[in-house]
Amino acid sequence: MSISESPFGCCLLGPLFSLGSALLFPSYWFLDRILSSVICTSVERAQGPGQRIACLLLGLPFFLLLFLVSLPLAVVGLLIWAPLHQVRRPFCYQKNSSSVSTHPHHENGGSFTFVSANLCLLPDGLARFSNLGHTQRRTALISHLLSVSQKSSSQSNDHGSEDAASICSTDDVLAMVETMGREDNTEFQGYVSLNFPHDVDFICLQEVFDARASRKLRHALASSFPHILYDVGPSGPYKCGFKFFNSGLFLASRYPPIAAKYHYYHNSRGEDALAAKGLLCVQVLVRVTEDKQRIVGYFNCTHLHAPEKDANVRCQQMSLLLQWVSEFQSEQRETGDIIAFDILCGDLNFDNCSLDNFVEQNHELFGVYKDPCREGPGRDRPGTVGTLLRQEFIYHEVLKTPENLKRTLLSDRDRRLYIAPPLPQDVEHDEQQWTGRRIDYILYRNSPLMLPLVVERFQFITGLAGLSDHIPISLKLSVSLPVNTSL
């Protein structure tokens, strides 16, 4: 069983949908330019008021006029585009059979590396609210960094010891060779790394809302990742409302997906109700045994409700998430299936150190999935760092290059200045274990019904410094696969 590439059941609907999108694009772009003329980043503010005034006096009226002129085209495009969403599958699938897909083959086992990153690839005008401008330029750089990291698989140092530093430990994992001179630490090592791992099998991205950004990412990653799920979630008229954006989820995989399903969080509210945030469940085929048993993996991507005070909304979404994952796996499970891994990742929009996130920290989710950097509710393992940067400092000298950001993360003093602090900010927190807000997660399930696994490596990656307000993370699992299996 495989997933069809077209999101439509009829081959004629795809071109028609593209035509509607093309007619909408001019108005979309001019409106984006209007917002970009009004909202500036910290870099632009530092350049003085002259450029900003010129943009307001010249750019704003010009793009407003063009927007009004383009509206008739947009109305026609909307009449074509909107109804097609009612019959469109809530995700697209790109398959590239010419990709060079290399898998870690081991006679008695295998390893799987997962990456999760929130890229804030909104239209340029909206990205500026997070102090991030030039979405297309950032996308080009991010795409290059991701693709180059996967084309450098000839590097012999699998753990990146030259640019990695030990930051945390856990109890149920393999010993590592590189201990950065600390012989007493023989357990699992997490790292602050300059670069992405070169052996990534799955990339889960959040906030890839812009269609042009998605296209650039797909083009750059296609040579290394033959299977990409994108444009996930509905947009346009949906039930009784209108979704201006889809979920923003984007999944690139070296392994073929054999089933996928998307669920929309119906309880979103406020600004989050403008996007169709939800959960993407994917089943991938890892290998097949000599007895024709499938070895499968489950990969679940999500982006939870953002407003900080809405803890109950996030908890409801996590409960729905667990229900949907269970239902999906029950539906797709075949007799004799062997489960290699079950991963949940994404931006959960709460951390494990804020008093305001007490309810989320104690949710049953953490009884089902394990967090390699979590010691318990409200306490992370020593050395764990936050993944949310203070937006006003994104272009500051200490954060805008991978090397400087790495030094900042490894400095207790600098982390307190540049990583988003726990909430509420007017309450004293544990000074001995100040991690900052770690809201990006890669969780894994370890069950007797699955193949034995251990956590081999966890990384906080600084390679996207100056390109996002989040720090990407990576998890590598070592799984004991059966002998004599084939792809």
Q: How far lies 260's CA from each of 157, 251, 293, 304, 443, in Å?
A: 34, 11, 20, 19, 19
Amino acid at 113: T
Query: CA angle at residue 190 from 187 to 196, to 5 degrees?
Result: 140
Identify whether the C-beta of residue 309 lies closer than 8 Å to the C-beta of residue 254: no
Amino acid at 83: P
Q: Which residues contact 420 (CB under 8 A, 6 or more apart)?
A: 386, 388, 389, 390, 436, 437
**What is the rounded CA–CA span in Å between residue 301 and residue 322?**
12
Is 334 exposed, middle or buried (CB count within 10 Å of its CB: 0-12, 13-18, 19+)?
Answer: exposed
Whether 470 is catalytic: yes
**What is the rounded CA–CA span in Å between residue 64 and residue 142?**
31
Instruction: Given the residues 263, 303, 305, 470, select the one marked as catalytic.
Output: 470
CA proximity to 96, closest of 266, 225, 271:
225
**What is the rounded CA–CA span in Å between residue 180 and residue 164?**
8
Say if strands 278-289 and 257-264 run parallel, antiparallel, or are unpaired. antiparallel
Residues carrying an active site annotation: 470
